[in-house]
Amino acid sequence: MSLFKEAQHAYLNRVTRRHFLKSAGAGLGAIAFSALGAAPAPVGPHFAPKAKRVIFLHMAGGPSSLELFDYKPELSRLDGQDCPESLLEGKRFAFIRGIPKMLGPQATFQQYGESGAWVSNHMPHLTQVVDQIAFLKAMYTDEFNHAPAQLLVHSGSPRLGRPSMGSWVTYGLGSENENLPAFVVLLSGGVAPDAGASVYGSGFLPTVYQGVQCRTKGDPVLFLGDPDGIPRHLRRRSIDAINAINEQQYEEVGDPEILTRISQYEMAFRMQTSVPEAMDISHEPDYIHELYGTEPGETAFSNNCLLARRLVERGVRFVQLFHWGWDSHGAGESEALNGGFLKRCKETDQGVAALIKDLDQRGLLEETLVIWGGEFGRTPMLENRSGSDNPYVGRDHHSDVFTMWMAGGGIEGGITHGETDEIGYTAVGGRVHVHDLQATILHLLGFDHTRLTYPFQGRDFRLTDVHGHVVHQILG
């Protein structure tokens, strides 16, 4: 090798990323392990936040706004008539074929509160808190199948691999309680979301930011407890030994995921005592159980709503509830507007209203942002794949318009933003895209959504990708 080549090789060796990290490992390790087990320092808000924490209530499957909040008397008049071809031209549907019939609202509506919000008879408890809610009645999305639409709502992209909203929030704000995960996920309805764990995964962010699923029945977190015959002091020694090996490996290669591994071991050890206490609702007073309609020990949405309050009360930053079963096609009783849909309403109505009341009475609602909604809406026409003799009725997926609502955390209560046409098929004002919703949530938490970024594969990524506008009209 020539002297020039030798010099070039020596120079390149000195400046390679691996060589730099290996050389700097001891220094970086000293910084990291000065607070061994702590999550990485949060980015911090860009301006003063109005909300400090989030509870996102996702009704997986796409609840029909036409049976809940979007009152359309004209649709009642058109019930049973052939759908005008103008509504079908150029449109894509998941299951509608040919010319379907129009389907009138399968509910009755009244106005409630000083705001005069329209709510159906399927949500009697929610009517008591409508003046604390801002309805977004002209939401829209780019996707009309469940998994991509759920991913878009929660990660900003219909494809796998992006961090979820909860991960972005914890990356930005960190945790208020070092003994509990910053991002907790609770499931009910018997089935996980169609997009699976990716809707609460950390994507390309460090895995310390991914959601931790907790269970309301049995061990709150699987495999968290010590094996039989292993006392706590011995578990402490084993974790210390494992982390010493991890620290040595980090100093050799500088992989930041090793720090995440150490942090997660430490968090798991602390969670062994903190999580069972936080997840135990049995000691709540009777009036709270009556308010929520809870039954300790069961896997139920109402239990999860109470748990959400307990978790944010203890400093958990982002609590994600998924309740499955809102996919009301009408192909059978379980997914019919005159069947399973009614059960889903009954399962969720009391818990949602109780959550808002309970947060409010404890002084938590002002700084807790509560979000309710699904991944898309439903069509005003009858889904027609099951034949004319089907006793059950349902609606197909509809991405052009649906309703979500928000409360607390800087939201102006008692207002409605956006409007749909006379049959609830298209928006006629105040359209809000999924990315606009995400931008608004981050804004309330103190972030400019265009500046909360993370470098990956050569460019800076963000939750809203290259889209999104804050919906200032609903801010208090």
Q: What is the pLDDT of residue 275?
A: 74
Q: CA triplet 57, 61, 63: central angle to 5 degrees?
A: 70
Cβ–Cβ < 8 Å for 160, 199: no
Cβ–Cβ < 8 Å for 109, 118: yes
Q: How far is CA 187 from CA 77, 250, 308, 374, in A?
A: 39, 35, 12, 14
Give the DSSP per-residue string, 268-281: HHHHHHHHHHHT--
Q: What is the pLDDT of residue 156?
A: 98
Q: What is the pLDDT of residue 232?
A: 67
* Nearest in space to 137 (alpha carbons), one of 350, 351, 429: 429
Question: pTM for the complete prediction?
Answer: 0.87
Q: What is the pLDDT of residue 32?
A: 41
**pLDDT less than 70: residues of the chain:** 1-40, 217-227, 229-230, 232-235, 263-274
How far is 422 from 322, CA to CA, in rounded Å? 31
How far is 295 from 316, CA to CA, in rounded Å? 23
Cβ–Cβ < 8 Å for 223, 251: no
Q: What is the pLDDT of residue 241?
A: 78
| Residue that is written with structure tokens 């208090």 in the block | 476
How far is 130 from 68, CA to CA, in rounded Å? 13
Per-residue b or e along 139-152, where b marks 16 or more CB atoms closer than 10 Å to that residue's CB: bbbebbebbbbbbb
Cβ–Cβ < 8 Å for 356, 408: yes
35-220+279-474: CATH number: 3.40.720.10
Cβ–Cβ < 8 Å for 380, 74: no
